[in-house]
Chain A
């Protein structure tokens, strides 16, 4: 384990000041389910740990007509118990529910999952499908970045050393719109996605798709928006032909690697199947709204 200097500031200003003035390499702590394991591997080094959980709003989730403002450090267990949020964003809540065990969900957060920037992070395709935006604060002030641009590489996000993800804002999807998130794992529980897909679908009263957004995970260095899938859906009914086009578009957009959890060929195929099924699930939910 690294030698830790620990601070738990109670304001964002204080947190930014700590990060920008630190002489030690600084790490931000949310649930710690990734960070503490990463630190265990380093033996001789020192780190400043800035725990954000004491800052107002970091562990809250506020749902209004405008949408959801999610405190990045809210643990997944608390999020998945929120039936009001589950009603509006069932796919996002499903993604949070798939992360690790009950114990891990008691600590792991959506913001931590996003900042850790694993290609296989479950919440990222669900956030992208829902057009989530990251609100960032740093020494230079505030800025907003869409989730798909927040993650810039394997394990890399766009935050400057003095910056903090202060909130994740998801616009309200409105009427006849819903989402879904699916992943493939070889086990039934506690595993990491081999491929995954999130979708948000809006339908009109005739069942024609009026808006669509499809995102895929674990098949490229970062989760990807599949623009072509949305183009194939908008203005069309959800039928075999459009679903096949979604599947093809997702497979075509993927650039997977082969590793011990799956070959590139398998991932390319499965991500197409998952994208199609996520669109079907989101559309079925949208019909019921």
Chain B
């Protein structure tokens, strides 16, 4: 039996009917067509599906869609302001902090959460905070450079 879910995604009220065994990741991608959030491992290890739920960074593959009822969800689709990229996105492009791009939405959402919690992270703090976002391409160096540069840009903004 399908369950009715009313939630808020990137500030917009959203409702849908989902199977209660659907994860929040499945709901976003398959029921709502919001495919910016990526599926990597599906077991909470890789961070590709990172979203912010009620202010906490989570793996959407480890949340049931029905748990989003009444919650406030922020996804990669809400990071840019229409056509204007967020400074974190700009810095990822500037530093070429991506290759295949599957980890990128998760990394951007996580970096945004990191900077909301700690606007002045050390490189070590950034690396620990982002340890749950795996990247098979870059070797992380460019990602960390982009994150640290984005942090100073956000502080100056």
Contact = CB atoms under 8 A, between A and B. Distances in A.
A194 interface: no
Given A4-B20, A102-B110, A103-B50, A33 B131 contact: no
A214 B128 CA distance: 28
A240 interface: no
Interface string B29-67: 000000000000011110100100100111101111011
B43 A190 contact: no
Contacts of B133: 101
Nearest to A53: B67
Nearest to A189: B131
B58 A6 contact: no
Contacts of B130: 102
Given A36-B23, A77-B56, A102-B129, A107 B66 contact: no
Nearest to B1: A5
Contacts, number: 87
A190 B132 contact: yes
A40 interface: yes
A246 B18 CA distance: 55
Given A4-B64, A190-B131, A103 B20 contact: no
Interface string A81-114: 0000000000000000000111110110000000
B132 A102 contact: yes
A201 interface: no
A49 interface: yes
A231 interface: no
B58 A37 contact: no
Nearest to A104: B44
B56 A78 contact: yes
A37 B64 CA distance: 11
B21 A75 contact: no
A33 to B, nearest CB: 5
B21 A103 contact: no
Contacts of B113: 102
B67 A103 contact: no
A166 B63 CA distance: 22
A261 to B, nearest CB: 16
Contacts of B63: 32, 36, 107
A278 B142 CA distance: 37
B152 to A, nearest CB: 21
Given A103-B50, A106-B53, A106-B57, A6 B66 contact: yes
B3 interface: yes
A179 interface: no
A189 B110 contact: no
A102 to B, nearest CB: 5
Interface in A1-27: 1-6, 8
A103 B57 contact: yes
A51 interface: yes
Given A104-B44, A107-B58, A36 B64 contact: yes
B110 A103 contact: yes
B42 A103 contact: no
B64 A101 contact: no
B50 to A, nearest CB: 6
Interface string B109-149: 01001100000000000001111110000000000000000
Given A8-B67, A102-B130, 14 more contacts: A5-B20, A6-B20, A32-B63, A36-B23, A37-B43, A37-B62, A77-B56, A103-B58, A103-B110, A103-B132, A104-B62, A107-B56, A190-B45, A190-B132
5 contacts: A5-B20, A8-B66, A40-B43, A101-B47, A107-B59
Interface of A: 1-6, 8, 29, 31-33, 36-37, 39-40, 49, 51, 53, 75, 77-78, 100-104, 106-107, 189-190
Interface of B: 3, 19-21, 23, 42-45, 47, 50, 53, 56-59, 61-64, 66-67, 69, 110, 113-114, 128-133
